[in-house]
Structures are given as structure tokens and as C-alpha cells.
Amino acid sequence: MLTFHKYTGAGNDFIMVNNLNGKINLDKDYIKFICDRHFGIGADGLILLETSDKADCFMNYYNSDGTLAEMCGNGVRCVAKYFLKQTNRDLKELNIDTRAGIKKIIINKDDTYSVNMGMPVFKHTDFPSAISPTYGQILKLEGFDFNCVSMGNPHAVTIVKDLNDIDIKNIGPKVEINSNFPNKINVEFVQKVSDDYFKVKVWERGCGATLACGTGACAVFSILNKKEKFNKEITLEFSGGKLYLSENNKGEIILRGTAEFVFKGEI
């Protein structure tokens, strides 16, 4: 029997399991089973909360298909809230170890969580055919112009006139498995509403169409910021809710959003 907690960040939902004692070991097939929305609990991913000798805790994150993932911006906010609840600690900030490095979390007075997601990387082996030392390399796929960027995991971002015209379930998987991406890729479609407000549809590598994506939001911001040069926080509206993005004076992207407890159970 496995005890779990369900959390969500802007509609991106996760099965959270306390593994601070290190006794829980879940294989790929079991993770895939419990993330299934018909036969299991249902989630975009599973996170094991574990100890770290470098930070307050480690986020051991798996996609819903059971594969390992480097980073999840919505997931790391949920980990912060879950860690504080599980350990009964009252902190205003904490550090969470991930496969993409240590992320600093600040707990805001409005119960949102701000995460320093680091700097975008525009040259990476995850998109070798789109390699460029700086932003600007365009990759034409499925009739769209994509810019590629890594936020600890790879993303392909394109700007469109109307999201209603985008069949994400048809186009998303084709771009995800394109031969340009040896480790597959996350895909984001962006529509501008106003100078500081944008709508986004996302196809997550290893998950499919999701209601939101934290690293995807950062990838979108990094591409838009090259075009728009924002000097204030902007809003990205996903199907599951809103995320807020800004940049500090070091060029690091700050992701702000909620983390909500949904329910607790046993399976």
C-alpha cells in the first residue's frame, strides 16, 4: 500500500510521495499505472520527496509514462509546499535539489511561490540541428517556425495568431519526436493578447497535452523577452491557470504561481 498526496500547480497535477526515509522504490511500469487517469490515481507526473546533502530536499520527478524528467517548474513549487507540510517547518525560502540543479524557492505573502529557474540556454545537444550560440536560429517544422531553448529540459516555442486554430494533440507529438531532437522535446504555442499578457498551449514530452508547464512558461518567456524586452512581470495564461514570469538583474527567469493541495489517499 502506498500513501500519496495529490497537488496541482496551474492545473499541472502531481502524485506526491514522502520518501524522506528512502525506503520507497517504484519501477517505471508502476509509475505509469498510478499516473493513468482511468485505472490509477491520475496525474501528469509523480514526485518522490527525498533527502539531499546539498539542499533542503530532492525532487525525484517522473513523467506520467514512467520516464525520468530533469525539471518541472510547477512541480517544484508543489514540492516546496509539500515539504513544508510534511516536515512542519515554517520557512520563507528553501532550496530544492533537482536533476537540473538546485532551485531557490521564495514563499510569498499571497501564498504564491517564486522559483529562480536560472538562465535560458539557446545552444544545447538536445536540439543539435537548431544549434545557435544565441537566440535566433529558426527551425521550420509542421508549417511553424520554432525557436529552441533549454530550461534544464528542451523546448520548442512558436508564436501563432490564434491558439484556437492549433490542434495540439495532432501537431504536438509530431514535433516532440522529430529527428532534430535526440531526447524528444516539449512544445509550446503562444498567442499574444497584449503587451504583457499571452496565452499558451503546451505539449509535454512524456506526458502529452497538459493544462500548464512551468519550464514551458520559462521557455516561452525567454523567447518573448528576446523580442519584447520586458521590464516588468508578465502573465502567461494556460488552460489550467495563470503563471507569472519576470527576469532578475542577472538574466535569471523567475517563475511565480500557486501550489494547491487536492487530496490524500492510499493505493
Over residues 82-140, the pLDDT tens digits come to 999 999 999 999 999 999 999 999 999 999 999 999 999 999 999 987 665 556 678 99
Contact, 50 vs 26, CB < 8 A?
A: no
Alpha-carbon distance of 247 to 140, in angstroms, equals 28
Mean pLDDT of the chain, nearest integer: 95
Look up cell 545552444; give the residue: 123
Pick the CATH number of 3-104+259-266 from 3.10.310.10, 1.10.569.10, 1.20.1260.10, 3.10.20.740: 3.10.310.10
| Nearest-angstrom CA–CA distance, 73 and 222 | 14
User: Parallel, antiparallel, or unpaired: how do β-strands 234-238 and 197-204 relate?
Assistant: parallel
CA distance 49 to 156: 29
Indicate the burial class of 123 (C-beta count within 10 angstroms; 0-12, 13-18, 19 or more).
Answer: middle
Locate the domains of the chain by residue range.
Answer: 3-104+259-266, 128-251
The residue from 35, 72, 78, 218 that is catalytic is: 72
> Pick from 46, 39, 32: which is nearest to 4 by CA?
46
What architecture is domain 128-251? Answer: Roll (3.10)
Q: What is the pLDDT of residue 26?
A: 97
Active-site choice (35, 78, 213, 218): 213
Assigned C-alpha cell, 247: 527576469
| 72 a catalytic residue | yes
Angle between helices 73-87 and 214-228 (to 10 degrees): 130
Q: Is 213 an annotated catalytic residue?
A: yes
How far is it, in rounded angstroms, from Cα 179 to Cα 189? 20
Residue 128 has a pLDDT of 81
At 188-201, the pLDDT tens digits run: 999 999 999 999 99
From 41-50, 121-130, 161-170, the region with the lowest mean pLDDT = 121-130
